[in-house]
Each structure stands twice: as C-alpha cells, then as structure tokens.
Structure 1
Amino acid sequence: MARDTSDTTPLTTRDELIAWFSAGEKPRDAFAIGTEHEKVPFYRDGNRPVPYEGTTGIRALLEGLARETGWEAIEDSGNLIGLAGTQGGAISLEPGGQFELSGAPLPDVHATVAELHDHLEAAARAADPLGIGFLNLGMSPKWSREETPVMPKSRYRIMAAYMPKVGGLGLDMMLRTATVQVNLDFCSEPDMAAKMRVALALQPVATALFANSPFTDGRPNGFLSRRSEIWRDTDPHRTGMLPRAFAPGFGYEAYVDWLLDVPMYFVKRGETYHDVTGASFRDLMAGRLQALPGEFATVSDWANHASTAFPEVRLKRFIEMRGADVGNSAMIAAQAAFWVGLLYDKAALAAASDLVAEWDAAEREALRASAPRLGLAAWVGGRSLGAVAAEALAIARRGLQARARRDAEGRDESRYLQPLEAIVASGRTRAEERLADYEGSWGRSVEPAFTYCVF
C-alpha cells in the first residue's frame, strides 16, 4: 500500500462498513487492471543489501526516481518512503526495502505491460548510477533476516513488534519476500462472490505456476515457493484461504464480519501511528479503544484496517490476487493475463467455477499446503496440479480471446500466457530451473542469481 487513506468521515454502523465495499462496484465496461510487483534491490558490488540511508541508499534511489518521473514525494516522519504518480500509480517500500510499483488502473494487459516497461526503464536510470540492481526472485536468496535493512515506516515498526507474537515467519514475510499481485474489479455482490471463490480456489495454481523462491540463506530451502510457505506461518487471524467465502450466501456482509474479527495493528491520527495491536475494530467504533479512549472510527481507519488483512485473495474496493512469487517482466505480464482471462469474461468465469466446484474445504487447504513444496506435482481432486493448471490456462486463453483487446499489431492479450503454457508443457517451474542451475552451472552457489535473476 503506497499511502494510507485519509478520510475522516465517521463510521458508526456495520451497514456503513458493508457499504464501503459495495461502493467498489463498477460497470463491466469500466473494469480495469491494476498490477503490483515487488523487487529486491542489491548492490552489484558484492551482492549486498541496500540500506535506507547513505548517498547510494534507498532514499537516494527514491530521490533519483522522483527526478526521472516527476512523481510526488510520500513522507513518513520526515523520511521519504514512496512516490505518488500523476495517473494513480505509486512507488512504495516494503519493510526490507523491496521496491514496489503499485500500478494505475488500466484498461487492458497491453497497457499494464507498457506501464511496467516504462517503470523498469525509469528505475534503471535512477539505480544504475548508485550501483543498484533488482532481483526478480520471490525471496532474497542470500541475506539473513538480521542482515536485511529495515525501512523507516511507522506502520512497519508496529507490525514488526507484533508479528513474532502470532506466527514464526512473519518477519521473514515482511523483510525477505517479494510478490506480484493483480487487482481486478467486480460489478455486483454476486459477481464479487463468484470471483472470490474461483480466485481463492485457484490461488495454489498460481503459487505453483509462478514458484520462484527456492533459496534462503544462500542455499536451497526445500520449497519451490518459500514465499508462499512463509505466509502459512505468519498470522492465522488474517491470512489463509478464507473458508467462509465458499459458504452459501457469501457477500460483503460475511467479509465484513470476518474483517471485524481480524485484530487491528494501528490507528493513524494526523501523521502519528498509534499502536493498537490486538485491539478490536468494534471497540474503536464504540469509542472504547483502550489505547485511544474517546476516538471513534473513520473511513480512513476502515480502509487502513482492510489493508492489514492478508488472505490469499483480499477484498477491498477491488479483488486482489496474492498467491504468486514475483518473476521477470514476462511473468508479471502473464499473471495479469491469467487472472483477467479467468475472471473478466462471463463464460470463462463460469468454466473456472466448474473447474473447482467439486473441491471441498479440506482439499483446498491440502492444496494450499502442498503447492509451495511440490508445485505442479501437487494433487487435488484426483488430478495433478499440472493438469488443473493446463485446463485453467486454456480457459484463460479463451477468455482473453473473447475480450479481443488488441495491441497496435492486432494481437490479443492471450499472447502473454505463453510463458505459463511453456511451464505447464515442460512440467518445470522457474524455481526448478533455478535449482538445476544451482546444482549445475552455478556450482552450488546462489551468487550467480545476482547476474541471471535480475530485471
């Protein structure tokens, strides 16, 4: 999240919380695509992590990118921690310095690819003079948690103190992982519910297809997507497969009730983040929050609280797919194409719903547990995940062809699925390719990753 919301309109009823989500509904012809991707910066000299301070640190990188783009500075207690774009995009910092582009809402995958290329070119112009490169792996492969710099963002200090109380790997999630996310729209409550169910059920498919984090602390970690596995031991109150989304009648109300049960992290007043970890949003609405007596909930508080829940698919005023490791530019484009193809065409959404309809909660949870380690070799419903992925990709291709959004050369968006189709055809993920490199030409060292796995 690039910038915390600032809207002091009071919220006093549960219906208002529900209405905040329903206000995200858009007509189908206004559906947009938002992409977010994180990349891990490193110094090319010595493959070292990049601290915030210093003439060649993260702050200097942000300053250089501001000069390149003309984007507005975002500050936290006097620290430059992001940039706000003129068309809705933003640059933000994750806790360990992961550099994130939160893309603007755009009409098609072609436009998101153009945005990505423009961003990477501007980032390179800012980073090259500082000796900084960017990894395109889903987890930093070399540095320990203690060696990883911590960015000076107030909300992260609160989260970092709380994470060890609710899971074993929350700090690894914050400091050492990198993801790519796709944000898509919905037109009604039933449309939202259908998309949430399909996206949640197929999130392990995305985890397998995009698996790209097989190294930790300089050696193989036993997983194809260690990033995804880390989320399974982060905070059970706010993560996971959201089983209630599959219950009859799921809608905004059920999601609000779940979110109300998610403990809070902070309340922001002015420029100050107040630590209220573990407190209830219900108490804030009633003005009886122990840490802030007499303070009542606002729209900002609800929007910010919604951003601190981390299920595999998150509902805000759009739907956010969260199950994939970051990869190279082609893989970032492929993830956008995959979900747009599945969710934005009515026939494709219906076919995808049929694909996952027979899976029960136990099967979905088992798949969520096995996909990070086994990738496409995992099984669900009597089929390999590779076979399920092949069928999902065929549905997505048909959905993109039906959309018929063409680039200047007359090509539709389905062309961006080719890297995923190649992975399914070979049965080998990017993580498995990197592990083969490690055992072969890399000489059982992760140092070559800083040459071969970069943007």
Structure 2
Amino acid sequence: MIFTPETMMIMNCVFFKQNNELCLTRIGTEHEKFGFEFGSLRPLRYDQIADLLTGLAERFDWDKVMEGDHIIGLVQGKQSISLEPGGQFELSGAPLETLHQTCAEVNSHLYQVKAVAEDMAIGFLGIGFQPKWGVKDIPIMPKGRYEIMRNYMPRVGTLGLDMMFRTCTVQVNLDFISELDMIRKFRAGLALQPIATALFANSPFTEGKPNGYLSMRSHVWSDTDNNRTGMLPFVFDDYFGFERYVDYALDVPMYFVYRNKKYINCSGMSFRDFMAGKLPPIPGELPTLNDWENHLTTIFPEVRLKRYLEMRGADGGPWRRLCALPAFWVGLLYDEVALQTVLDMTYDWTVEERQMLRTKIPKTGLRTPFRDGLLRHVAQDVVKLAKEGLERRGYKETGFLNEVAEVVRTGVTPAEKLLDLYHGKWENRVDPVYEELLY
C-alpha cells in the first residue's frame, strides 16, 4: 500500500504521542458491570441509570456528559464513566503508575457507585454474560451510535446483539514506547489472550441455565462481526507494524461519522472512500483525526491498537479479579525478561494452534488439550512469569495475582465454581449468582 501524506499523519498522530509527550509505562483499567433491581433482578431502565449518573455527579463531583437531553456518562480528570448498549456501567480508569493505584481507583469507584445505588434499591453484578435475561428483556439506551450498531449487527453475525446487550468485560490498556515495542507486546498479548480468557472465564449461564460454555462472552465474539474481531494472524508476519495495522483498519467497515452532535449512519461503508472524500452520506468531506480515532474504537480484535494496546480477552468479574487482570498483563508485558520469555515460548505456535485455542477455550478452559498436555500447564508457566515480572518491578504488587494463581493451582476456573454452586447449593437456580457476585 502507498500512503498519502494524510494517512501518514494519521499514523504519526494516532499511534504515537503528540507534542513530544513521553510514552510512560502506565496502566489503564476498564471494567463493565450489569445493573439490576433488588427483588425483581430485572435490568435497569435508562431513567434509573440517569438518576444514578446524576447522583454520582452531585455527590462525588463528576462532570456530566450529555447527548442531547440525555445524560450518557461522567468525566472526572482522566477517569470516565460510560453507558454501554444494554445499560452496562463502565469505568474507564486513568493511566496510573502502579497496580496499587489502579486497584485503589477501582475500589473508590465501586464505593461511590454502591453509595448512590443502595439508596435506589439497585445493585451491580460482576459477571461476563447476563445470566438471567434475554435480549428482548434488556432496555435500550438512548445513544445514537448504539442505534446504528443495533441495526447493523444482525447483518454481519448471529451474536452481535448478545455482544451489545448481554456481555461485560474487564480490560487493561498498556503503553508502548516504539514501533518495535508495540510489535513485541502485541504478539505476546495476542498469543496469550486465550489463556487470559480461560483464567478469567466467568460466564456459564444464559437465561437462567448453564449454556455449555465457561466464557459465553468470549464465544459471543466469535460470531459478532468477523470483519472487525478475532486473532489477527497478520500481527505475526515479518512485515507487521503500524503501517500494516492502518491498512487493516482502513478495510474494516465503518459504523458512523459524528457531525454537528449527531451520528450519521455509514454502516458498511469504507474509510478509504472517506479519505478520498467519497463517502456517500457526506460527499466531498474528508475525515478528521477524531473520525479516525472513533473508527478505531469500532474495531474489536482480541488485542486492539490505539495509542496504547488493549487486552480484551477477559470476562467481567468481582473486584479482586478487576485488580488481577492488570497484574497479569503488567507482569508479562512491562518486564523485559518476562516479555522475551513469552515471545520465545510462543514463537513456533502456528496460526492454526492460536485459532484453535481461541475457538475451544470458551468451552473447555484450562482443560483444553494443547500439544503434549493441557493448556493449564502452559498457564501455570505464564502466571509464574507474570509473578516474577511483578517482583522485578519492585512495587510489591504480586499479591494482586493471588486470584489467578489459585485458578492455575487448582485448575478450576471461576465459571466452574459457579457451576458447582448451581448444581449443588443453589439447587439448579441461577438467581443466587446476583448475591454471590454483587459488588
């Protein structure tokens, strides 16, 4: 591909920090959670979420984010709270230096949400997939971009609406300091993303019953929209770099363009045409950097590249696991010894093997056969590497890995613990999960 000056500008401004800002090894943690009414366990309506957002703004000094007359989020410094398609409540944390800081941020957020929510007789659930209610039962949120996505999803996959309305995740965003650093971290993160999916698998129920998966959330992504999801085999090619990712992103169909405080439906159209001023809904108009950044947020591979790398493979869960996920990836990717060991370990994994893990792990977790053993044995080595990487950082952060260390020690994923409760103490009822995983 031959890049125009405009495209080179996109690469330089989006993938590198602007204004000579230093790329520091910061940690940004994001997590989603399901709101529900005490008693009925029904998902929250928009008016309830609007009252919650307003209460948080008034009591804890957040600034409101509005779309027309609707409150759709909050901002406070470098933190933000956003409203997801099915009413999922997401914290996007600030870029912080240590795991102690990011876990304190999570705890502060959950304290604030609980303080306001309890007065409203509502709570929040830490799980990867809506355990009780169907898509038809989930109230629709008044955000323009979600209406466009809601109409487009059924055209490109069978599970896109499930992704929008019934999934929750926790992810961590990590820095890179150069193109080579990005490549190494991208490859390590992508190869090991199925292991993260297994360690954090926490979505075994659908509409009140076991669904046959340990991570239904992960399975849902396998048939959401294959043009914008998956394991990205080209990341492991010799010629991979920023240029190749731009080339890929330009070919991912668009959802929308935001103009004059309105979302213009461009679903299925080409950003390449937009670059040439040939986008049918706005002919002659050229994209801005904000348009490109918005477009990058509509791409959903297992690891996503923006001005940082997003690790996207884990189910939502209780607060200890919200701290464990960044600990896992920081120990592996922010320590040179651990990172190089991962790259050496995964160097000869084939495209077919990586895809096999991505396909099978949502159902079989750590018991997935891999080469001469089980994935659990690989996961044990990886968690050990993460712990050693955290020890070398010198911040006394290894305790945050206790949750995943227990998973690899026993071989039992969080989802399997929930299934044991369902078939035992809960007497084949799913409602107790709302108390078990209440924040």
User: TM (normalized to structure 2)?
Assistant: 0.97
Shift of 1:114: 0.5
Q: Which runs of 4+ in 1 moved over 3 A?
A: 24-29
Of the candidates 13, 37, 45, which is equivalent to residue 20 of structure 1? Answer: 13
Corresponding residue for 2:362? Answer: 372
CA distance in 1, matches of 2:7, 2:279: 17
Distance 1:59 1:27, change over 3 A: closer
**Which residue type is aligned with residue 431 of structure 1?**
A
CA distance in 1, matches of 2:231, 2:401: 25
1:97-246 alignment to 2 at 5 Å? 97-246=87-236
CA distance in 2, matches of 1:336, 1:69: 26
SS at match of 1:358: coil
Q: Does structure 2 conserve the Cα–Cα contact (< 8 Å) formed by 1:267 and 1:273?
A: yes
Q: Does structure 2 conserve the Cα–Cα contact (< 8 Å) formed by 1:12 and 1:285?
A: no
SS at match of 1:354: helix
Shift of 1:22: 3.3
1:413-452 alignment to 2 at 5 Å? 413-452=397-436
Shift of 1:380: 2.6
Corresponding residue for 2:274? Answer: 284
Q: Does structure 2 conserve the Cα–Cα contact (< 8 Å) formed by 1:24 and 1:318?
A: no
Shift of 1:450: 1.2
Shift of 1:454: 1.1
Q: Percent identity?
A: 49
Shift of 1:68: 2.4
Q: In structure 1, list runs of 5 or more residues that go unmatched.
A: 1-10, 406-411
Does residue 58 (structure 1) correspond to residue 42 (structure 2)? The answer is: no
SS at match of 1:62: helix
Corresponding residue for 2:74? Answer: 83
Bigger drift between 216-225 and 383-392 goes to 383-392
Bigger drift between 11-20 and 265-274 goes to 11-20
Q: In structure 2, list runs of 5 or more residues that go unmatched.
A: none
CA distance in 1, matches of 2:369, 2:312: 21
CA distance in 1, matches of 2:54, 2:138: 21
CA distance in 2, matches of 1:355, 1:429: 23
CA distance in 1, matches of 2:28, 2:301: 18
Does residue 44 (structure 1) correspond to residue 38 (structure 2)? The answer is: yes
Corresponding residue for 1:69? Answer: 60
SS at match of 2:136: coil
Shift of 1:298: 0.4
Distance 1:93 1:29, change over 3 A: closer
Does residue 31 (structure 1) correspond to residue 25 (structure 2)? The answer is: yes
Shift of 1:23: 1.5
CA distance in 2, matches of 1:69, 1:201: 40
CA distance in 1, matches of 2:40, 2:317: 22
CA distance in 2, matches of 1:271, 1:379: 50
Corresponding residue for 1:454? Answer: 438
CA distance in 1, matches of 2:204, 2:17: 37
> Can you list the C-alpha shifts for 1:199-235, whole angstroms capped at 9, x where unaligned?
0010000000000000001100000000000000000
Q: Does structure 1 conserve the Cα–Cα contact (< 8 Å) formed by 2:24 and 2:177?
A: no
Shift of 1:383: 3.1
RMSD: 1.3
Distance 1:252 1:21, change over 3 A: farther
CA distance in 2, matches of 1:156, 1:113: 30
Q: Does structure 1 conserve the Cα–Cα contact (< 8 Å) formed by 2:35 and 2:43?
A: yes
User: TM (normalized to structure 1)?
Assistant: 0.94
